[in-house]
Amino acid sequence: MGYAELIALEVQSLPAKSQAEVLSFVAALKAQDKASLLPTLTPEQTERRDAMMKTLSPFSADMKGFVFDREEANARR
Q: What is the pLDDT of residues 7-29, one digit of tens each?
A: 999 999 999 999 999 999 999 99
- Where along the chain do its domains lie? 3-57
pLDDT tier at 74, thresholds 50, 70, 90:
confident
Write the pLDDT tens digit of every residue in 51-64: 999 999 999 888 88
For the chain, what is the mean pLDDT?
Answer: 89
Residues 22, 14 contacting (CB under 8 angstroms): yes
pLDDT at 77: 63
Residues 41, 49 contacting (CB under 8 angstroms): yes
* Residues near 14 by beta carbon (within 8 Å), at least 6 away in sequence: 22
What φ, ψ does residue 45 adopt, rounded to 5°? -65, -40
Rounded to two decimals, the pTM is: 0.46
3 state DSSP class of 18: helix
Q: How far apart are CA 52 and CA 44, in angstroms?
A: 12
Other Cβ atoms closer than 10 A to 3: 7
